[in-house]
């Protein structure tokens, strides 16, 4: 834990990522102080370009784009971190249990994990969201959490297999420590960097996927979020009528948040890698975060 | 051989599991999907009409297990029922048509970005720490961390609307009849440029980073030092000693990428109104066209399974150690 934090402070990528994330979090928290407008209310004439009155212009139905942007950040962050946490907890727990217990338990969990991995994720999410109908951010976060833990579980299991061979685990077993204690206090702390990468990767994935589902019109229209901003702007043909502020604002916000989190993720990976020479599973996982699931 | 057989068994089990999810998903959801499907017309249907409609669309009454068996049978005989939106076209025909566009778009984009990304990754790792490496690494972070929706919309906005260089939708000029003529082919290429550009932007960075990191891990190996000590040329060591071995994990990331490409192409197709599988799925969801949705999920699962199996085979071919076990 200590070298991870020390490394993060010294790493330039981590610093930039941290600053981006911090700014977005602060803006989201301070939203009511930064704007007097209600993000859902009609406060001006439709599709006004940016002005002193409406810093980022207005939407097709006259809502203030800046107010929607900063209140929308709350939704994106909440869904991202909520779903990210759920994905990480599920993946880590299943991975450690499978890796440590071995035998039939391992076989059952691994089979289940591999099964979930080969079902295409986004199409399945689309179908689920459409069957539920007008999915609220909370529902989206829960669906994401329940369908996206498999990669984390696979990687955590592979790591657990190697940690379990270490002497300190053996000695804890000799001393008769209960199994749950070995898993939580002996094995888990040694997987912290993998869990960290899993968590940040999952947050990125959840934020992107929430925005994608909402952009495709599967979200709850009453939600104030970046995905709904994209959806409404696209529906109002913002691009073809030249209302660039309506559609580019959420685009840049999503891009910025994605870049900030990715920088953090790369940094954690860079710091953790020398200690984690497991090769294949690790590189597959990094590859996944960089080129894989997160990129929908 | 035993390895491949075991994998094949797993894929078959995975396929049946996916088909089962596919079957139960609409049935577990609140409300009767068949009622929702037919009530969208707004008119009241008599029980008799409903029954005959259900029959036409391939729904069977009876206990769940019987429906399930009929469903499994229909999958293996390739009969996926008829589309509601494009009635009376069979689902297989609707999907088959879209499949061609998606495979052409996706296949080309994956090929281009895999080649380009791998090449950039090799060079970046070889000149680690140089300006080129920094540009490739940072560029890759940027390109891969921006959501596909955002990339698609920005590309559409700048090249489609602001600069007006390229068409903003469809796979070809709708005024032209699909034919094997030069005008039509040129039109298809012209319309494909923007979606292709988007997909390549989304995918290249990931391949580049994977290749770069694999290469860097390998460059410290003894046989690389040995190759250099022997006085082999740089390019020989780089390509035949390092890159060749670093490519192995990259091939597995290609299998992961298939899932990404399916997802990414879905969004890109919707934004550019491209008539591929992703767009068909999107339209089917909007129209509550359940037979098409089910068929679509099935096809995407099969694509994933086939891609994974091909990767397994290529692993056996590329890595002699696997052949012995």
Residue B130 token pair: 């140089």
Instruction: Name which residue leads in pLDDT, A289 or B264.
Output: B264
For B32, which residue in chain A has the nearest alpha carbon? Answer: A131
Q: Contact B150/A280, CB-based, under 8 Å?
A: no
Gap between the Cα atoms of A118 and A101, Å rounded: 24
What is the mean predicted confidence (pLDDT) over A191-217?
Answer: 88
The SS3 of residue B137 is: helix
By Cβ distance, the residue of B157, B262, B308 closest to A244 is B157
- Measure B14 CA to nearest chain A CA, in Å: 5
Gap between the Cα atoms of B284 and A190, Å rounded: 47
Ramachandran quadrant class, B90 (left: phi over 0; alpha: psi -120 to 50; beta: rest): beta
Residue B206 burial (10 A CB sphere; 0-12, 13-18, 19+): buried
For B13, which residue in chain A has the nearest alpha carbon? Answer: A115
Gap between the Cα atoms of A171 and A27, Å rounded: 49
Contacts (Cβ under 8 Å, ≥6 apart) of B35 = none
The SS3 of residue A215 is: helix
What residue has token string 């203030």? A64
Gap between the Cα atoms of B202 and B262, Å rounded: 12
Contacts (Cβ under 8 Å, ≥6 apart) of B50 = B34, B38
The SS3 of residue B90 is: strand
Cis, peptide link before residue A45, omega less than 30° from 0? no
Gap between the Cα atoms of A48 and B295, Å rounded: 44
* Helix ranges (DSSP H) in A102-242: 103-118, 121-132, 137-147, 150-163, 167-174, 179-181, 192-215, 226-235
Q: List B82's β-bridge partners, or say none.
A: B90
Q: What is the pLDDT of residue A287?
A: 47
Q: Does B176 touch chain A (CB under 8 A)?
A: no
Mean pLDDT of chain A: 81
For B296, which residue in chain A has the nearest alpha carbon? Answer: A123
Q: What is the pLDDT of residue B216?
A: 81
CATH numbers and ranges of domains, chain B: 91-322 (1.10.3720.10)
> pLDDT category, B57, cuts 50, 70, 90?
low
The SS3 of residue B82 is: strand
What percent of chain A is predicted at pLDDT more than 90? Answer: 16
Mean pLDDT of chain B: 78
Taking CA atoms, A136 is separated from A12, A62, B53, B121, in Å, by 37, 23, 33, 40
By Cβ distance, the residue of A215, A283, A292 closest to B257 is A292
Helix-then-strand count for chain B, H and E: 14, 0
Residue window 142-161, chain B: list those with CB within 8 Å of chain A.
142, 144-150, 153-154, 156-157, 160-161
The radius of gyration computed from the CA coordinates of chain A, to the nearest angstrom, equals 21
Q: By the 8 A CB rule, do B207 and A291 touch?
A: yes
pLDDT tens digit string along A207-263? 988 998 888 888 888 888 898 998 988 888 777 777 788 888 899 999 999 999 988
- Measure A117 CA to nearest chain B CA, in Å: 9
Query: Range with the lowest mean pLDDT among A91-95, B171-175, B234-238?
Result: B171-175
Whose CA is closest to B203, among A285, A53, A116, A292?
A292
Q: Is the pLDDT of residue B149 over 60?
A: yes
Q: Is the dihedral of CA B63, B64, B67, B68 positive or negative?
A: negative
Residue B194 token pair: 């923007």
To which H or E segment does residue B3 belong? helix B2-28
Contacts (Cβ under 8 Å, ≥6 apart) of B256 = A284, A287, A288, A291, A292, A293
Contacts (Cβ under 8 Å, ≥6 apart) of A272 = A4, A193, A194, A196, A197
Residue A239 token pair: 């691009």
pTM of the model: 0.82
Q: Does B217 touch chain A (CB under 8 A)?
A: yes
- Measure B51 CA to nearest chain A CA, in Å: 23
Polymer length of chain B: 325
Q: By the 8 A CB rule, do A191 and A100 touch?
A: no
Instruction: Name which residue leads in pLDDT, B109 or B68.
Output: B109
Q: By the 8 A CB rule, do B269 and A99 touch?
A: no
Q: Contact B249/A280, CB-based, under 8 Å?
A: yes
Q: Is the pLDDT of residue A176 over 70?
A: yes
- Measure A84 CA to nearest chain B CA, in Å: 16
Q: Contact A291/B18, CB-based, under 8 Å?
A: no
To which H or E segment does residue B123 belong? helix B91-126
Q: Is the pLDDT of residue A134 over 60?
A: yes
Q: Contact A290/B206, CB-based, under 8 Å?
A: yes
Q: Contact A295/B259, CB-based, under 8 Å?
A: no
Q: Contact B301/A259, CB-based, under 8 Å?
A: no
Gap between the Cα atoms of A176 and B80, Å rounded: 57
Gap between the Cα atoms of B221 and A256, Å rounded: 38
Query: Range with the lowest mean pLDDT among A125-139, B36-50, B233-247?
Result: B36-50
By Cβ distance, the residue of A115, A124, A132 closest to B14 is A115
Q: List B136's β-bridge partners, or say none.
A: none
Q: Which of A256, A287, A289, A293 has the most B C-beta neighbours within 10 Å, making it the best mutation to test the interface with B?
A: A287
Residue window 58-97, chain A: list those with CB within 8 Å of chain B.
none
pLDDT tens digit string along B184-217? 777 777 788 888 888 888 888 888 888 888 888 7
Gap between the Cα atoms of B122 and B115, Å rounded: 11
In whole angstroms, what separates CA A203 from the centre of its chain?
1
**What residues in A contact B129, CB-CB < 8 Å?**
none
Q: What is the pLDDT of residue A4?
A: 63
């Amino acid at each position: 834990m200590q070298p991870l934090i020390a490394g993060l402070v010294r790493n330039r990528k981590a610093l930039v990522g941290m600053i981006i994330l911090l700014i977005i979090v602060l803006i989201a928290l301070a939203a009511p102080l930064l704007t007097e407008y209600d993000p859902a209310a009609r406060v001006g004439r439709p599709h006004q370009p940016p002005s002193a009155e409406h810093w980022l212009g207005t939407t097709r139905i006259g809502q203030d784009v800046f107010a929607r942007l900063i209140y929308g950040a709350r939704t994106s962050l909440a869904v991202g971190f909520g779903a990210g946490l759920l994905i990480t907890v599920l993946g880590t727990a299943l991975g450690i249990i499978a890796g440590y217990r071995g035998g039939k338990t391992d076989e059952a969990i691994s089979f289940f994990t591999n099964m979930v991995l080969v079902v295409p994720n986004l199409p399945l999410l689309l179908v689920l969201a459409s069957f539920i109908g007008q999915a609220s951010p909370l529902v989206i976060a829960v669906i994401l959490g329940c369908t996206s833990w498999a990669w984390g579980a696979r990687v955590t299991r592979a790591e657990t297999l190697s940690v379990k061979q270490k002497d300190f685990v053996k000695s804890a077993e000799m001393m008769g420590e209960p199994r749950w204690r070995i898993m939580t206090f002996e094995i888990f702390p040694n997987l912290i960097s993998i869990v960290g990468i899993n968590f940040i990767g999952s947050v990125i994935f959840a934020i992107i996927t929430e925005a994608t589902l909402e952009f495709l019109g599967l979200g709850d229209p009453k939600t104030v979020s970046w995905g709904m901003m994209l959806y409404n702007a696209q529906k109002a043909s913002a691009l073809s009528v030249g209302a660039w502020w309506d559609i580019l604002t959420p685009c840049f916000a999503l891009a910025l948040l994605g870049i900030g989190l990715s920088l953090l993720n790369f940094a954690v990976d860079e710091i953790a890698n020398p200690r984690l020479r497991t090769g294949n599973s690790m590189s597959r996982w990094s590859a996944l975060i960089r080129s894989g699931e997160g990129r929908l | 051989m035993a390895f491949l057989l075991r994998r094949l068994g797993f894929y078959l089990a995975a396929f049946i599991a996916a088909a089962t999810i596919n079957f139960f998903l609409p049935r577990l959801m609140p409300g009767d999907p068949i009622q929702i499907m037919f009530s969208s017309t707004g008119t009241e249907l008599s029980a008799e009409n409903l029954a005959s409609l259900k029959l036409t669309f391939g729904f069977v009454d009876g206990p769940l297990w019987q429906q399930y068996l009929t469903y499994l049978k229909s999958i293996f005989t390739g009969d996926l029922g008829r589309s509601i939106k494009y009635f009376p076209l069979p689902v297989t025909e609707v999907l088959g048509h879209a499949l061609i566009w998606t495979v052409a778009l996706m296949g080309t984009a994956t090929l281009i970005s895999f080649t380009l990304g791998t090449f950039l990754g090799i060079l970046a790792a070889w000149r680690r720490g140089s300006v080129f490496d920094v540009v490739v690494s940072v560029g890759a972070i940027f390109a891969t961390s921006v959501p596909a929706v955002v990339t698609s919309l920005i590309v559409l906005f700048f090249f489609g609307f602001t600069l007006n260089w390229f068409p903003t939708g469809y796979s070809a000029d709708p005024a032209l009849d699909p034919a094997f003529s030069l005008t039509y082919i040129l039109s298809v290429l012209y319309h494909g440029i923007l979606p292709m550009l988007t997909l390549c932007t989304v995918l290249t960075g990931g391949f580049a980073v994977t290749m770069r990191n694999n290469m860097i891990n390998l460059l410290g190996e003894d046989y690389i030092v040995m190759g250099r000590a022997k006085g082999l040329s740089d390019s020989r060591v780089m390509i035949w000693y390092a890159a060749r071995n670093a490519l192995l994990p990259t091939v597995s990331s290609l299998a992961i990428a298939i899932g990404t490409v399916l997802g990414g192409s879905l969004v890109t197709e919707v934004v550019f109104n491209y008539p591929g599988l992703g767009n068909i799925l999107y339209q089917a969801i909007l129209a509550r066209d359940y037979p098409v949705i089910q068929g679509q999920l099935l096809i995407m699962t099969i694509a994933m399974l086939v891609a994974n199996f091909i990767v397994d085979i290529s692993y056996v071919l590329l890595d002699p150690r696997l052949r012995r076990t």
